[in-house]
Amino acid sequence: MNKDEMVIYLNEEDAKVYVKVPSGKKTHFQLQDLPGKVLQEAVHDKGIHDFDLAGLADGNYFVIVNQNDYIRSKKIVLGYQP
């Protein structure tokens, strides 16, 4: 798998983070807060997963995805207004 096959993106309009990965492979998905507490977690072989961010406080969060020992993470910032 190359890095373009795994995409993590925030959609602020529906307050969700979407993760797109190649389907058919067991994948571990996690949403963590800044100190590392796991807030949401799932394991499945579907090609897309979403984390619902509604109700979370403004701040920094991390999405961590592990598929076949290829690990990718992305920092998500909620509530930042430049």
Residue ranges of the domains in the chain?
A: 3-78
Q: Determine the 3-state secondary structure of 4 from DSSP.
A: helix
**Residue range 51-64: mean pLDDT, rounded:** 96
- Cβ atoms within 10 A of the Cβ of 32, count? 18
For the entire predicted model, the pTM comes to 0.89
Sign, Cα dihedral of 23, 66, 44, 33: negative
pLDDT tens digits, 1-50: 666 688 999 998 999 999 999 999 999 999 999 999 999 999 999 999 99
Which CA distances in Å does 39 have to 27, 35, 55, 62, 66? 17, 11, 12, 10, 16
Tokens of 40: 């949401």
Report whether CATH 2.60.40.3080 matches the domain 3-78: yes
